[in-house]
Structure 1
């Protein structure tokens, strides 16, 4: 059977499943009174696209057509004269999620526990403890003044606030005006928030001055506050010392392993183990899936071709691809020796390979919690004579070695890259942020990564960027899950999607951008190979006609309601992704929001997490 015939057969099968699923859900749903409907950000964007490109208006009903959707040319994003207010739309209540099992029963996982405090509580309004005013000297360096204020708040005692165990110390408020910072700013204590009074030009503007190529605001429990000084940044900026890696201590409990002969699919909450002794409900655990040379051979990553110019690619090795997923035990069945975990698996555990090891989650080094950066505008000072200047701020904000944190209502301007939740970040929300007008070499690697989720349980929502290489991105070996939802990138010159080496469990939901790829990258980037597995692209729009979705051996990606052209000749060989329902958005509008509302019993009020009125982002922002 040809790939085309296989695709049509899969499309018919999945379309039938979707129709049956929706019909069953609608028939079983209780009658509800009509609700007032508000346009979502995505709907506002679609309306603007429809106005700019007559004849390309999208349908709100599911489509099972295999015709290619129309090409939408990339044009400058035009803000409406009076942007309508944003209201979080109440998703469809009677449909919890699509599952779409593959031949191994891997299903679309529940993504609803990502973000700050698992996404269902408000980001707290942390009381102000110290107020910092703009300097009377317009040329003064404010690095020490701001850092000293952060340090003082970091010495205050923690106290409980809000829900789900949040503990805070207080906020440093930077009053509206301009601040000049020649070094970097570091938050390294739990419960500390750095807050401004608005992300527009008239709000709080923090300028990264000088020509040091450094990351600007670092939220990281493993850094010391003196590392942000100008002197330190001149010698250590962007070194391994400024980007420390954490690890796990020896377990206090006996290790256990997954049961032999049992395939644990993606989407599963159930982990059959050899022995439950010593483990209790509420324990946090690591599920360690070992990498092996056999698996590397099975997915073909031991024979990556050379790069152009006969430059050798880096072949994958088993020891470099051991994956560690952090989870919590929520139930134990002693009879079947099964753990139930809070967040489903986003990588299958195949009994063909060695069993996964399960052990107590204890980090080697400090992890901070309940930390945030909010409501300000960050600008990197650049050489106006050089449009490719790179001797200036690199990432605007990096959050790492931190759990349950947030970046909200922040705009970055001219930084090489935007906002990054690093490898050891967990449950981070990035919301209502803009990354604008990066200044760097426009097409070289490692640059213009605008919104980057490379930890676990990260969430980007209602964000905007322009002129990216990679608008919404993950790096290599990302264990997930992670979610990008209701966000837009314009004028990007590369793609959105997993960037390298087997990122797992990412949802792209109502993303509009130039190109989306989940594919075999082969020799690119020194041997990035299979970039992403068990990803979901849901109701997304790409303006380019060269999008590519492929499945790695033993893995599935789900492309649902995608609007954009597909590459007729992918750069590298690979099986075309299954479960494609192309052409028009389907219902529910958002997979993430519908899963979250379903988990919370239909109470949308529990999931609103706006940070104040002053910092609310206009959509799209002024540029």
Structure 2
């Protein structure tokens, strides 16, 4: 056995033992009290939805959509009776807790596929060999294969690159840039597949991104452009010849709503994917106080919010069209209110400007970053272990990362990504400096993290700036973090933290922190979560609402910045149902056992078929 493998085996063994001592057992068995309904297509019924069984009888417009009323004083009584209807908890503007059930790979109710193996790679068993080109060549070989449809959910795959158990050394980066390609190992422990990020290049290690190419992962290229904007290209939307419209004048569309009244329904059709674009406005930024951020204590000026940077684009699918109220009925509720006080939202056909890939995954392996063994603040090594971007319907499953600066990141242009049964352990970096130790990070739309664990983070489970959502973190835990879970930068919308255990959870005003973070998020839901410290902070931005329900842990008595406190409902208690996300998913699918078999504990990925 090589000296490297001996060292690795000894190290991995100690890590596994320490992890086992600290890990919090994950619980997932749900007690579902709701009655199943509409198991096949539980969608709103629309007048022009040909596949629907009956016409949708919309309530009068004035009954569903109301003008903004003066704020009411919050009640101190938690009155929900354990049903999903009671848990909507409308505020004075009729904003309600949205349905989060359509997040994750293929909307979360579809089992991640076991993609057949196309190429098998054996470990080099040589400490001096760089396996970058060999693994990337196999990925490219599978990328050239034709797509084949599997299952009944629309998945189209090419094949899997299987890394047999052993140690692989990668001095560059590995890139998946084509739909239907999976990179799989044979286990996360020391007897499984261990892929080592070698050398001193600060780079993200495995990148799943439809806008990259495989040549960008070579050592020479990474030395030149690692961690640059070239490695994180920005996508956008193309113009369409189909008609556009705007939201109806004078109508407030609350969070949680699926009926979007528009000036014209002409040219739109059931099944069409659309963008609801809420434009930024100077008036909104002024109303929430983000155009007058004070300088930092070190006299560095804060970056004032500008309307050009705060246009929010929400991707949705039309499930029905109601002629009576001129409303588009969308699949996923709004997670940001549309207030007629500000410019109307634009609605148009969704066409991506650049390539998005789908049905891609990283699974069943351990990723390890080499670093200076005597410098616990070393940062000349792997940054994020896995980054998914410009991706529809992807997954990271059964992956352990160790000693990277940060963990697993579903970035801004990720959609319907599931990260499940993963661990991010022992990050190596400057322990308190910004931009480090972000362990599980969702910054796209319809992202899902479930049954995951991390330690020694700055931030266990977070979103970043202008995250449109919805996103869900569920049944996951972190220990020994130095900072908090929650929205971290500049107005994330529509995140559910459900049965999360961590150091602190914060939804708050951050004012001049960073470069002028300001309000970190709005319309956030914290449900049956536990904070291990007594320093959590929950605050409402002007005109917005958060829902904190069943929170166990202490709140700071001295928030960093004064703002309206969010009411905590059922403090230090566990409310029913146990999990809001799982209850909503079962209610939508209509069959608790089917959900459990496909995506619950019984539906965990199996790798024994090939």
Give the TM-score, by structure 1 length. Answer: 0.85
Tell me the residue number matched to 2:34: 93
Are 1:237 and 2:237 matched, yes or no? no
Distance 2:112 2:296 in 1: 46
Call closer, same or farther: CA 1:85–1:393 in 2, change over 3 Å: closer
Secondary structure, counterpart of 2:586 in structure 1: helix
- Which range is displaced more, 151-160 or 602-611? 602-611
Unaligned stretches of 5+ in structure 2?
1-16, 36-82
Q: Structure 2 matches for 1:323-338, cutoff 5 A?
A: 323-338=312-327
Match of 1:278 among 261, 267, 274: 267
Tell me the residue number matched to 2:43: none
Q: Structure 2 matches for 1:275-314, cutoff 5 A?
A: 275-314=264-303
Preserved contact between residue 466 and residue 492 of structure 2 (Cα < 8 Å): yes
**Residues 550-602 of structure 1: CA distance to partner in whole angstroms, max 9, x if unpaired?**
00001000000000001111110110013522011111000000000111113
Are 1:454 and 2:443 matched, yes or no? yes
Distance 1:390 1:329 in 2: 46
After superposition, the CA RMSD in angstroms is: 1.7
1:138 deviates by: 3.0
1:613 deviates by: 4.0
Tell me the residue number matched to 1:130: 119
Tell me the residue number matched to 2:553: 564
Preserved contact between residue 485 and residue 510 of structure 1 (Cα < 8 Å): yes
Match of 2:342 among 353, 374, 381: 353
Distance 1:379 1:450 in 2: 14
Preserved contact between residue 501 and residue 529 of structure 1 (Cα < 8 Å): yes
Preserved contact between residue 396 and residue 419 of structure 2 (Cα < 8 Å): yes
Are 1:148 and 2:137 matched, yes or no? yes
Preserved contact between residue 410 and residue 447 of structure 2 (Cα < 8 Å): yes
Match of 1:430 among 405, 410, 419: 419
**Residues 192-243 of structure 1: CA distance to partner in whole angstroms, max 9, x if unpaired?**
0000000111110000000000000000000011100000000000100010
Distance 2:22 2:320 in 1: 53
Preserved contact between residue 185 and residue 363 of structure 2 (Cα < 8 Å): yes
Tell me the residue number matched to 1:538: 527
Q: Provide the aligned length of Structure 1 versus Structure 2.
A: 540
Secondary structure, counterpart of 2:216 in structure 1: helix
Are 1:413 and 2:402 matched, yes or no? yes
Preserved contact between residue 389 and residue 412 of structure 2 (Cα < 8 Å): yes
Secondary structure, counterpart of 1:371 in structure 2: strand
Tell me the residue number matched to 1:58: none
Distance 1:210 1:482 in 2: 34
Preserved contact between residue 93 and residue 602 of structure 1 (Cα < 8 Å): no
Preserved contact between residue 550 and residue 572 of structure 2 (Cα < 8 Å): yes
Distance 2:21 2:209 in 1: 38
Preserved contact between residue 220 and residue 368 of structure 1 (Cα < 8 Å): yes
1:91 deviates by: 3.4
Secondary structure, counterpart of 1:373 in structure 2: strand
Are 1:574 and 2:563 matched, yes or no? yes
Call closer, same or farther: CA 1:281–1:140 in 2, change over 3 Å: same
1:87 deviates by: 5.6
Q: Structure 2 matches for 1:158-307, cutoff 5 A?
A: 158-307=147-296
Call closer, same or farther: CA 1:137–1:82 in 2, change over 3 Å: closer
Tell me the residue number matched to 1:139: 128
Call closer, same or farther: CA 1:323–1:419 in 2, change over 3 Å: same
1:452 deviates by: 0.3
Q: Structure 2 matches for 1:50-65, cutoff 5 A?
A: none
1:611 deviates by: 4.8
Are 1:381 and 2:370 matched, yes or no? yes
Higher relative contact order at CA 8 Å, sep ≥6: structure 1 or structure 2? 1
Tell me the residue number matched to 1:553: 542
Tell me the residue number matched to 2:497: 508
Call closer, same or farther: CA 1:510–1:82 in 2, change over 3 Å: closer
- Which range is displaced more, 252-261 or 208-217? 252-261
Distance 2:151 2:296 in 1: 53
Unaligned stretches of 5+ in structure 1?
1-75, 616-623
Distance 2:140 2:206 in 1: 14
Secondary structure, counterpart of 1:524 in structure 2: coil
Secondary structure, counterpart of 2:220 in structure 1: helix
1:390 deviates by: 0.3
Secondary structure, counterpart of 2:378 in structure 1: coil
Distance 1:273 1:451 in 2: 37
Call closer, same or farther: CA 1:96–1:161 in 2, change over 3 Å: farther
Are 1:110 and 2:103 matched, yes or no? no
Distance 1:85 1:264 in 2: 37
Distance 2:20 2:133 in 1: 38
Preserved contact between residue 28 and residue 475 of structure 2 (Cα < 8 Å): no
Secondary structure, counterpart of 1:199 in structure 2: coil
**Residues 498-525 of structure 1: CA distance to partner in whole angstroms, max 9, x if unpaired?**
0010000000000000111000000001
1:88 deviates by: 4.1
Distance 1:611 1:156 in 2: 27
Preserved contact between residue 318 and residue 331 of structure 2 (Cα < 8 Å): yes
Distance 1:472 1:84 in 2: 18
Tell me the residue number matched to 1:29: none
Tell me the residue number matched to 1:612: 605
Tell me the residue number matched to 1:593: 582
Tell me the residue number matched to 1:443: 432
Distance 2:217 2:297 in 1: 40
Distance 2:111 2:480 in 1: 33
1:77 deviates by: 8.1
